[in-house]
Amino acid sequence: MGGGMSPAAASGSVVSPTARPLSGSVSVPGDKSIGHRALILAAVARGRSRIRGLPDAGDLAATIDAVRSLGASVDPGPEIRVEGRGWEGLREADAPLDCRRSGTTMRLLAGVSAGRPFRTVLTGHRQLLRRPMGRVAAPLRALGAEVLLGDGDVAPIDIRGGGLTGTEVGLPVASAQVKSAALLAGLQARGVTAVTETVPTRDHTERLLAWLGAPVERTGRRTTVRAHQVDGFAIDVPGDLSSAAALLAAAALVPGSDVRVTGVGLNPGRTGFLRTLERMGARVEVRPVGGGPEPAGDVRVVHGPLRPIEIAAAEVVPMIDELPLLAVVATVAEGPTVVRGAAELRVKESDRIEGVVAGLRRLGVEAEALEDGFVIHGPSRLRGGRVDARGDHRLAMAFAVAALAASEPVRVDGMGFAFDSFPGFLDALEAL
């Protein structure tokens, strides 16, 4: 199955230390998490939708191709037009759906497929075929879908869906992807589906559904949903805070920097990194703007001397994708930064604990991997060298940020993987 690594993505880039502080105001491409959900809900909606602000990024392309295979028509561009089929109009795909390296594509579409009375097989790049899928199979089986996995509970996911009945679903792992899969299945089930999380995760799916008039209700960590057919919609997707975080981390790292990113999503389930930078001693200013289903605004980070920090399990979820950036920023803090309760990092696009620790050590940083996190001993003088992004967009961007503060240029192997979420990342960095 395809989803192979393109030569461009695999190629490396040399990132040179910055001679000056970073300064200026930039925008970033639209939010990948919200984008997947908007594309999927548009595909299952009745009628036309318009989605503005999404980048031509690898992970979103995987979702677009997959919903096309299920029968939706998608016309890409700065404004994506989707002709939805309604639940009943989706059709069995001719071949397995290739989710490439995108876990969100795979897990959310598993939820859609669970409710459809046909067979869907979800597969992808070998990197995705190593990630845990038992967590998404369990709730979908509880609702009545037949879900087969490969040995070790990995994809391909082979689903025979339809005939779902709502039930109480408890999710042992804190995962917005799994929660969203259960809710998308619940929208197609008889009766009430109730999903309870251990820790509240990003609620993009719930917000979009409520905004579209679906019967979704939240009380604390429990969310209920009933069967519903959404209609087509028009949405402006805010900038991706996880992409902005790379630029803001660069501002926190390089003395004298002052960087503003405009129009980014500020979902409280995603803003943990901003709170952390502030606690470490950077100046963080947030100016909310706009309306729509998601809070959004401008964020400014001004460099300041940084203190080390200890991050415990409860703080991990709202900054899960930013932890590699935190590791980089921690290299200049005055003492050891410790992250615990983040074992999930081991099952992302790569093992991010091993990856970030190995990369930073190559650059001369004293860093240790823990079973469920890492320790970075600051302050460390970053030197030049060669690091491997391990096919992971977040590691590629984190190492490029580290390079800005290094004494010599850094070669980042796999820099092109940044394209999975942030096409134009190096240009944005250069603009600052």
Cα–Cα distance for residue pair 318/328, rounded to 1 Å: 18
Q: Should residue 176 be labelled a site residue for ligand S3P when binding is judged by CB under 6 A?
A: yes
User: How many C-beta atoms lie closer than 10 Å to residue 133's C-beta?
Assistant: 24
Q: Which of 13, 102, 175, 350 binds ligand S3P (CB under 6 A)?
A: 175
Catalytic residues: 321
Q: What mask of x and - would describe binding to ligand S3P in positions 125 to 164, judged by CB under 6 A?
A: ----------------------------------------
Stretch that binds ligand S3P, among 176-184, 267-275, 279-287, 382-390 (CB under 6 A): 176-184
CB of 321 to ligand S3P, least distance (A): 5
Cα–Cα distance for residue pair 429/431, rounded to 1 Å: 5
Q: Which of 13, 18, 33, 69 binds ligand S3P (CB under 6 A)?
A: 33
Q: What mask of x and - would describe binding to ligand S3P in positions 104 to 123, judged by CB under 6 A?
A: x-------------------
Q: Are 208 and 228 in contact (CB under 8 A)?
A: no
Q: Decide the pairing of beta strands 46-52 and 79-85.
A: antiparallel
CB of 155 to ligand S3P, least distance (A): 14
Helix or strand or coil: residue 264? Answer: strand
Specify the amino acid at residue 427. Answer: D
Residues 6 or more apart whose CB falls under 8 angstroms from that of 416 comprise 6, 8, 9, 10, 11, 13, 396
Which residues share a beta bridge with 175? none
Q: What mask of x and - would describe binding to ligand S3P in positions 309 to 338, judged by CB under 6 A?
A: -----------xx-----------------
User: How many C-beta atoms lie closer than 10 Å to residue 266's C-beta?
Assistant: 20
Q: Are 331 and 360 in contact (CB under 8 A)?
A: yes
CB of 92 to ligand S3P, least distance (A): 26
Stretch that binds ligand S3P, among 174-182, 220-228, 295-303, 396-404 (CB under 6 A): 174-182
Which residues share a beta bridge with 157? 122
Helix or strand run (H / E) with residue 289: strand 283-289
Q: What mask of x and - would describe binding to ligand S3P in positions 202 to 241, judged by CB under 6 A?
A: x---------------------------------------
CB of 218 to ligand S3P, least distance (A): 16
Residue 61 burial class via C-beta count within 10 angstroms: exposed 0-12, middle 13-18, buried 19 and up:
middle
Positions 56 through 115 that interact with ligand S3P (CB under 6 A): 104
Binding site for ligand S3P (CB under 6 A): 33, 104, 175-177, 180, 202, 320-321, 344
